[in-house]
Amino acid sequence: MATPMTEEPKPETIRLLLEAMENRWKNYRVEFKRCRAKFSHEAVHDLRVAIRRMLALIQLLNSISPRRRLQKLTRAFKNRLDEFDDLRDTQVILAEIAKIIHELPQLHDFQKYLQSAEERLLRSRRKKIKQLESSEVTKRIRKTYKAIEAETNGDLRSQIMQTVDDVYLITKQRQGWIDITCSATIHRVRIAFKSFRYMVEIVHPLLNGFPLESLKRMNDYQSLMGEIQDAEVFAQNFADFSERASFPDVEPVRLYYERRHADAISAYVEAKEQLDSFWRPAPDKPLPWEKTE
């Protein structure tokens, strides 16, 4: 999908979108093939991240020029993301157990149960991933790339910035609705923040003075919320297993994850106002790194 060298230079915003499309599609294809070869914890995680990055780009493009093709791409990639939810959760829990089983040997039976569940999921996903290779998706990606190349409005910066403003505002609104006794409210912030973060990854070359360390800080901020979600996924799966298996000596495990969950929430609450350092509160306000004393 590379642009021929003989063409006239594209406006900065068009070039940015073309590079984002090319790089993210290429990365998705690499991670898809890697995952198909071996469904390791890292491969599944990296494929899911590649899908989310594609979704953020499609969301950005759709806000600039809504097209039915982009809506179909969104559905296709969301379906691919959903296909790996159970496998991802199982692998995250297994990775956690491997770290702490020496402290909580009571988890051996749970570990064996999850290993069997992982094998079943791997068998079904190996079959499913062959069906996910869709020529229709590839065609829509190519058409989208050509549509960006043909874009006549070279000054898309204001539209791009407005889209990021909107996604950030949604994240801030959800943050304002957080109830620490209901961690689902934090999870909703995390979902919105992912879209915001992956959009900033695309647009930051347009931002004068953007501090590159913010990309890592955003990843760390997202991880704080991810720790809460992972603790809940573990606790729920363990509760389901212990009920079915008449699991003995549940209390040490339950107490461990209650503490971990509480600590994860406390860590996020302590850091949650860092969100203000990533973007401006309104379109007519300066970006945080542009502020002067």
Q: Which CATH superfamily is domain 8-155 in?
A: CHAD domain (1.40.20.10)
What is the reported pLDDT for 64? 86
What is the reported pLDDT for 5? 42
Please list the residues that pair with 182 across neighbouring strands: 179
Q: Which of 155 and 167 is assigned the larger pLDDT?
A: 167
Alpha-carbon distance 185 to 272, whole Å? 13
99-104: average pLDDT: 93
Residue 249's pLDDT band (cuts 50, 70, 90): confident
Q: Which of 170 and 251 is assigned the larger pLDDT?
A: 170
Q: For 107-148, write each residue's pLDDT tens digit.
A: 999 999 999 999 999 988 887 777 677 788 999 999 999 999
Q: Which of 29 and 125 is assigned the larger pLDDT?
A: 29
What is the reported pLDDT for 6? 45
Alpha-carbon distance 136 to 56, whole Å? 20
Share the mean pLDDT of the chain: 90
Q: For 189-200, write each residue's pLDDT tens digit.
A: 999 999 999 999
Tell me: pLDDT of 7 over 60.
Answer: no
CB contact burial 11-39 (16+ within 10 A = b; e otherwise): eebbebbbebbbebbebbeebbebbbeeb
Alpha-carbon distance 63 to 199, whole Å? 12
- Of the listed ranges 88-97, 134-143, 175-184, the least confidently predicted one is 134-143
Q: What is the dihedral of CA 69, 73, 76, 79, to 10 degrees?
A: -130
3-class DSSP state of 191: helix
Tell me: pLDDT of 3 over 60.
Answer: no
175-180: average pLDDT: 95
Q: Which of 28 and 131 is assigned the larger pLDDT?
A: 28
Tell me: pLDDT of 62 over 50.
Answer: yes
What is the reported pLDDT for 38? 87
- Of the listed ranges 74-83, 120-129, 219-228, 258-267, the least confidently predicted one is 120-129
